[in-house]
Structure 1
Amino acid sequence: MRILIIRHAKAAQRGLLGFLGKKDAARPLTDAGCRDMRKAARGLQKLVPEIDVLATSPLVRARETADIVSRRYDDIPVMELAPLAPGGSKEDVLAWLREQKTTATVALVGHEPDLGMLASWLLGGAAESFLSLKKGAACLIEMREMPTPGSGRLEWLLPPAALRKHG
């Protein structure tokens, strides 16, 4: 299994939405965030030509990021996965991953620090994070067997500017 972990792109500032009375979960991507993610998605597709499953946090900014990635991958269906929301359980994400085909390339779109903690756990088995993803960044983890904590191998970790450059 290959696990492509993608952090959502740049979103509206919290203070601005608070003034408008909206909750953090409703924060959309900015125009620049959408534009940058479209370029980054082109780079992602060059690095990972096919995605079999695309799951996202249900928060608006993650869903919009996943929708951009979906369009780049011939409109692959996007499914919302509650454990990818901030504070979600990495154990629940792992249980869901184990339900996928072992030959699949699975893309996960979510938030920091949760994605860094998930990636660190899959790579090293430790509960604390040793990597982080900037907004719009991604990493690819190769799992040789059924996903288990500490069994992953990091193929690459790229900041958003490098992904856009590949695109």
Structure 2
Amino acid sequence: MPVDLYLVRHAVAHVRDPERWPDDGRRPLTPRGERKFRAAARGLSRLLPAAEVVLLSSPYERAWRTARILAEEGAWPGPISLGALLPGARVEETAAALAEHVGTVVAVGHRPSLHRLAAYLLTREAEGAEIRIKKGGAAYLGFEGPLEPGAGELRWLLTPKMLRSLA
């Protein structure tokens, strides 16, 4: 069965501050980042069919909130936590976890993990392509069959500004 994979980088978060957030996983989105991403999410929801979406997210606060906004604006089911989307996860593990899903899948995560994952799914090498997803932006990778390394095709890569223009 074909897979449509949308990789979404979390929206703009507060700057790292170990005094405010000793656990970096709890660092939230900024109010402005959340507001701007809400508009980008409306734009992305115009490109995606709501019924097929499986929304997976890193459990870190900034990615989780980004995924919740996507669910709210797209009228999709709430996100499912996926540890394989955490920063520093091995691309092989992330790809294997994503391959368990079919249809339309949205994965919300972090830099550089999402960039390396996209390259791996397109070329079979984590460093095989230079893919950069801006904070709050998205990439669409299509697969004619199951999600497998090297089998993906980059269909589009949109900045948050482009997504907002679709809202």
**TM-score by structure 2 length?**
0.92
Superposition deviation, residue 152 in structure 1: 0.5
Match of 1:7 in 2: 9
Q: In 2, distance between residues paired with 1:152 and 1:53? A: 18
CA–CA distance in structure 2, aligned partners of residues 99 and 12 of structure 1: 33
**Alignment-derived partner of residue 134 in structure 1:** 134
**What code does the residue aligned with 1:31 have?**
P
2:83 corresponding residue in structure 1: 82
CA distance in 1, matches of 2:130, 2:76: 33
Runs of 5+ unmatched residues, structure 2 = none
Aligned residues: 163
TM superposition score normalised by structure 1: 0.92
Cα offset for 1:21?
4.9
- 1:82 is displaced (CA, Å) by 0.3
SS in 2 for 1:3: strand
Query: Structure 2 CA distance, aligned partners of 1:94 and 1:69?
Result: 22
Change in CA separation of 1:147 and 1:21 when aligned onto 2, cut-off 3 Å: closer
Shift of 1:127: 2.3
Unaligned runs of 5+ in 1: none
Q: Deviations over 1:43-102 (max 9, x none)?
A: 10112233420000010000000000011222412101001000112212222222213x
CA offset at residue 20 of structure 1? 2.4
Q: Distance in 2 between matches of 1:28 and 1:119?
A: 25
C-alpha separation between the residues in 2 aligned to 1:21 and 1:97?
29
1:121 aligns with 2:120: yes
What fraction of aligned residue pairs are identical, expressed as a percent? 39
Worse-superposed segment, 85-94 or 157-166: 85-94
Cα distance in structure 2, aligned partners of 1:37 and 1:52: 19
1:56 maps to which residue? 57
SS in 2 for 1:20: coil
Check whether the contact 2:53–2:76 (CA below 8 A) recurs between aligned residues: no
Offset of residue 39 of structure 1: 0.3
Q: Please, what is the CA RMSD of the aligned residues?
A: 1.3
